[in-house]
Structure 1
Amino acid sequence: MAKLKLGALEDDKPKRGTVEFTPPVYRDLLAYAEVLAQQTGIPVPDPMKLVPQMVERFMATDREFSRAKRLLRDPNTLHISRKEPGPAA
């Protein structure tokens, strides 16, 4: 691939987006904020502010996503499957 004149841009500004939740998921988000407030003793005035942290945590703990992300960064990385090897040839 040809090298571009621009390098990677630093992106440290938060991005705004709109998310629609199904009613049960939204009710669970409200309940989560309530439980968190009870556990920490700090009220959560806007439960929507929890969403970025939840998504960040979800992605950070998803092993398959971590592997795929590494492969995206460096496709030459050796990928070792956890599947059992087949019969010897």
Structure 2
Amino acid sequence: MTRLKLSDIEDEKPVKLTIEISARLHRRLEEYAVVLNAGQRQGAPEATQLIGPMLDRFIASDRAFARLRSQS
């Protein structure tokens, strides 16, 4: 089984955010959603549902950010 960095998607009240991403990145997000859903397209999360948790995981794992944040 593949170990992905994104494991679950929390169900929180969303804040609307509009961004533009490349078509290539959108395709990759869709592919990631399928892999996250055990290779099944049916029932895979929407690409838009992945962006928030991915950013959250990225920020949480950024050691330099955590160090600078604790200094302020």
Q: What is the TM-score of this pair, normalised by structure 1?
A: 0.57
Distance 2:48 2:20 in 1: 11
Question: Displacement, 1:25?
Answer: 1.1
Separation of aligned partners in 2, 1:39 and 1:48: 18
Which runs of no fewer than 5 residues in structure 2 stay unpaired? 1-11
1:29-65: CA deviations, max 9, x gaps? 011001111169x822422111111000000001011
Structure 1 segments of 4+ aligned residues over 4 angstroms from their partners: none
Separation (CA, whole Å) in 1 of partners of 2:51 and 2:19: 9
Counting matched residue pairs gives 60
Counterpart in the other structure of 1:65: 65
TM-score by length of 2: 0.68
Question: What is the match of residue 50 of structure 1?
Answer: 50
User: What is the identity, as a one-letter code, of the residue corresponding to 1:63?
Assistant: R
Flag the structure with larger Rg: 1
Helix, strand or coil at the partner of 1:67: helix
Return the alpha-carbon distance in structure 2 between the equivalents of residues 17 and 45 of structure 1. 18
Unpaired stretches in structure 1, ≥5 consecutive residues: 1-11, 73-89
